[in-house]
Each structure stands twice: as C-alpha cells, then as structure tokens.
Chains A and B, each alone.
Chain A
Amino acid sequence: MQKTALSLPIEQVAPRRRTGEQQWPFPALLPVLLLLLVSFAVPLAAMVRMSFNTKASGQDIVEAFSLVNYATILSDNFYYEVFGTTFGVAIAVTFFCLVFGFPLAVAYSHTRGTRKALLATIILGPLLINVVVRTYGWLILLSNRGLVNEFLHGLGLIQDPIKFLYNPFGVGIALVHVFLPFMVLSISAALQTMEPSLAEAAETLGADKPTVFRRVTLPLAMPGVVAGCILVFSGTLGAFASPLVLGGTSLRMLVVVIYTNALILFNWPRSAALAVVLLVLVLFLLWLQERWRAGRAAEGGAQ
C-alpha cells in the first residue's frame, strides 16, 4: 500500500505537568492559614478532645480519654435508627436532586444570552434567601392547614390532610429545594467544558440524540454528577435547620440528635462523638470521590 507521507515532521507531545513541583506561596497564604487555624482547626481539635470525655446523666462532664461515647454510638439500636433515617433521607434527596438537576444543568449549559440569565436566576435565586426563611416558607406550604393541603382539600381530592411535617417527606422536599442548585452547578460546570462540536461529531458519525447523550454527554458529565451527588449527600447529612423545623425532634436525623444531646441533655461528650462520626463519614465520601477522580486521570480519560 502506498504511503502518503514522505516523512513525519518532528513534533513532540508536551511533557505532562508534574503536580509536585508547584511553588508554595507560603508567605502570602500565612494570614489566611492563621485565620483558618484559629477559627477552624482549634475548635475542631477541642471537639475531638471533648468526644473522649465522659458524662453520666445528671452529672458534670469528666475529663477523660475514654471511648465510651463511641462504644454507645456503635452499640445502641437508637443510633442505628438515627443513621438509618439520616442515610435514607440523604439518599432520597441526592436521588431527586440528580433527577431534577441533570435536565436543568443540560438546559443551562445549552442556552445563551438572556434566557441563560433567566435560568440562572431561577436556579440560583433560592441561594440568596436564608435557609431558615425558606424552611418557614415550607412550613406554611406543608402544614396540615397549609396551602398545599387546603388547595387539595378545596379541589375535593383529599378528605384528611396529607401529613408532610414531622416525617421524612417534608424534610426531603425542603432539602431537595436547598441542595438542587449545588447539583445543577456541578453538573453544568462539567458540561460546559464539553465542546458543542463533540455532539455534532457524534451526529455526523451516525448517532441519534439518545446515543449522543448515552455515549458522549453522560460520560463527560460524570465528574460533575459524582461531585454533585457527594456535595448533596454530605450536605444533607449535615443539614440542620430544615430537619429541625420540619421534622422536629421526633424525626431522628443525625444533626438533630447532636443538637438534642448538646443543648437539651447537655451531654457534650456524646454530642461531640456524634459530630466526629459525621465528620469522618463526610471525609470518607470526599476521599472516595478523590480516588475515583484520580483513577480516571491515571487512565488518561476526561479532565
């Protein structure tokens, strides 16, 4: 077979940037690092320390190095129920954020001009309003004599009000509302790095729209989907205002239980131990994401 090229011109692939060589602008970062140390690391250390202290009911906190709080958390069925409820809500919230967030992100990254600004306002607008205020808004909408129930009752669709409050349902609705923007932002950030000509190239090669989505858009959006899911999931684990106001203390979400232990039972050591468990869980999730990302990078795939 006849070769077309006479000779290959010399052209090298640029060596890949090594990450270990980055300059460490330490002096410039010093004030910020100090601030973080004082406002973040010190209280965190104090909390971890507190989790090893002990407190019997009705008595003072005793300085100790005891694992009794962790032992209680890991052995008491009550806490299994707490983790079950919390994870259940977090999984459901993440799932619905993904289901609603993906189409929104696709729409957001495909529109231009004023329509994009309008979409941005709709998606990001809720972030401008305090979570507590939004939560009370949901309280007005979802209570037994709230707008939703009155409306459905007025239409004759229901006799007795639907119970949204003090169960996972109402809390889930409110948390999806709170965390949806984060899901949309991380997915659309991933989609925005995708050139429009990729979809067009796939189309000229014979792909219909669903195939383009399955084989090009979705794989390229995956880093955003994973980041969004972990953001929403860990955010839901740590959410406080909505579970407390809409779920009350009867819905045993982890953060509400921490709150009850700290401020009602004054059992700071146990509360601190629960907080440490929550922290470890969230860090574990972030570590998982990082490993997944590093695995893809090593494979040479996207980003």
Chain B
Amino acid sequence: MAYLELTSLQKRFGGLTAVDSVSLAVQEGEFFALLGPSGCGKTTTLRMVAGLVTPDRGSVILGGKDITTEPPRARNLGMVFQSYALFPHLTVFENVAFGLSLRRQAAAAIRERVAQALDMVQLTGMEHRYPKQLSGGQQQRVALARAVVVQPRVLLFDEPLSNLDAKLREHMREEIRALQKRLGITAVYVTHDQTEALAVADRIAVMYMGKVQQCDTPVRVYEQPANELVADFIGQTNLLRGCVKQAGDQLTVVTQHAICVPLARDVNARPGQELALAVRPERIRLVATGRAESPGYTEGQVEHCSYLGSQIQVRVVIQNGALLVNTANLGGPLLQPGQRVGIEIHAEDCIIFAN
C-alpha cells in the first residue's frame, strides 16, 4: 500500500466539478508532481490533502490511516503556499518557530531546530528580519523552512516558485529537490510549469479539467503521453490526423497534409482506420528538397524562424497546415522566411493515438 493514497476524490464548486474522481498513490519519500493547466483542479486536490478543503466524495489515506475528515492541524503536513503566506507581524525566527511553539517544545529545543532549519535554507543571520525586509527568494526559503521544521509527514507545495524570476526559479527547484531527497520527506508538488515538473519530479500526474490524464515518470509522460491532451500540454507537439492505407503488406498513414508515413510492422492498426500522429518539433527532420520518393517526406515553405538560443524553431507551412520544427543550433545561417525546405517524419518518432 502506498504511503499517501487518494481514492476517487471529488469536489464540486456550484455547477463546476473542480476535481473529478482523482485517484493517486504516492510512495514514501517520493517527489510527486501534479501538473496541469491553470484551473484544472491541482490546488483543490492539494488542499484536500492538507485538509483545507473537504472532498464531496472519496478519501485521503496517509500511512494506512483514513484522514479525510481530520482537521489540518491534526495531519502534521507542511505546506508551502504560492504566496508564501508568511506572517507579516512575526520575524523570520518567529515564523519558523510557529509550528514548534504550538507543539509545546522547550524554548531551547525550538531555538536549536529553527537554527538548523534556517541553516538548511541558508538564512542564518536573518532571524530578526521581518518578511517584507526579505527578497522574494528569501521569503520562499523562510516558507520552506517553516514547513520542514515541524518534520511533516508530507510536504505540500502549491506553485511555490511562480513569483520568482526565471533564473531563481531554476535554482530554487534544484534546491527544493535536493532538500527533499536529503530529508527523505514525501512531497506533493503542484505546478503548471511542465519544465519544472519534468526537472524535479520522480513521478508526474498530469491533470486536465479535474481528471488525472496520466500518472507516470517524467520520461514516459514526455515520450509516451497517454492521450492527445497530455501530448499537447507537455512540451510542444505537432498533431497530424490521418487515415491508414494498405499497400501490399505495408500499412501507411496518409495525413491530412498528404504526408505518407509508413508504420512499423508491430503497430496495431487496420486499413481505413482514422488516427492521429503526434510528433515533437525536435523529432522532425529538415532535409534537402526534392526527395519526393522518401517515406514521410513533404516540402514546405519557411514562414518564421524563432531563435531560442540552443535551438532554432522553424514554422513551416505545408499543404493544409503548418508544422513546428526544432533544429539544434549548429552555428549555420538562419533559414529565411519564404525558403523552401524538405521535411521528413519517421514513424518511430511519432506517438500514435487511435481516434
């Protein structure tokens, strides 16, 4: 049995089902991310774990015990809020000591543990500052220290980095991950940022419209998305709808753009079937023009080139649509708008979704 289990959690707000039968199992010590677009029910799910929202149906089981109806104070969880929720009238020391003082610890023990926690987040020496005298990143660290100092059974994060700038965000996410692994605390981490989730999580549950679409490791969520929604949300995806044709014993998908992509022998498809191919921009190859007989080949015209630093993203207009193609920045001249290019799509680079 998993350490933290959510079974068929359901929460409605008026006519809106914010969380729709969500079942998840989080292992002890795992860094588990809840990922999805804004408004998909991540926060509500997390708040049901924390006890700040009461589910309409379903249960929350922690360490084998049903805690669905327990109040937040009885759960011993640490939560890091999106806004940090630091107490503005208390110093850094008092903020971090808040949970310990409620646990009736001796003053000396509190001082020692607060000092340890502040050392852990590198805020030693800031004890007597007030939250508004700290930068956003430092406030974030105080919130983190305040949550871990009580030795919670699970650490809950609600988009903890969304108020920081990009550089600091990357830095802090590594730090949070390292801290979590070092302390061995189970963590549930809510984010709408796929890069963040892919970078830090052991496993990711992708949510959409209140439902869990896929729950898997970052690699599998990216490489083998369970459905078009996941493929579309994680990273960028070109979705090519098409129909299966048979020539001899070779099955081929002919897409709406008139690209013929031969399928591997082991793919389970039958002639006449409608399906969709999802292919990542970095898996489409740009080739020389005039190779009309090669499988998966088509030609198009460069519409626009985005320089992304390590990569260059090209938008290519083809028959009945356009494709995004990423190429590694190897230092050559940029493609010019209007230039004709050849494109090759191979079946092994595609994820196939039956319609």
Contact = CB atoms under 8 A, between A and B. Distances in A.
Interface of A: 1-6, 8-9, 11-14, 195, 197-198, 200-208, 211, 215-216, 219-220, 299-303
Interface stretch (B59-67, B80-88, B277-285, B329-337): B80-88
Of the candidates A3, A197, A204, A303, the one having the most CB atoms from chain B within 10 angstroms of its own CB is A204
B133 A3 contact: no
A13 B137 contact: no
Of the candidates B89, B138, B174, the one having the most CB atoms from chain A within 10 angstroms of its own CB is B89
Interface of B: 50-52, 71-73, 75-79, 81-83, 85-89, 98-99, 102-103, 119-120, 122, 129-130, 132-138, 146, 150, 156, 167-168, 171, 174-175, 178-179, 182
B273 to A, nearest CB: 50
Given A4-B182, A195-B85, A204 B135 contact: no
Nearest to A7: B171
Contacts of B134: 13
A11 B168 contact: yes
A252 B87 CA distance: 47
Contacts of B103: 206
Contacts, number: 101
A194 to B, nearest CB: 8
Nearest to B171: A9
Contact of B50 (A5, A11, A202, A204): A204
B122 A5 contact: yes
B135 to A, nearest CB: 5
A302 B174 CA distance: 32
B341 to A, nearest CB: 40
A260 B267 CA distance: 103
Given A204-B73, A211-B102, 11 more contacts: A1-B119, A4-B174, A12-B135, A13-B133, A203-B73, A204-B50, A204-B78, A206-B150, A207-B73, A300-B130, A301-B130
Contacts of B150: 205-206
Given A198-B87, A201-B85, A5 B73 contact: no
Contacts of A204: 50-52, 72-73, 75, 77-79, 156
Nearest to A205: B99
B102 A9 contact: no
Given A12-B135, A201-B79, A300-B132, A207 B102 contact: yes
A278 to B, nearest CB: 34
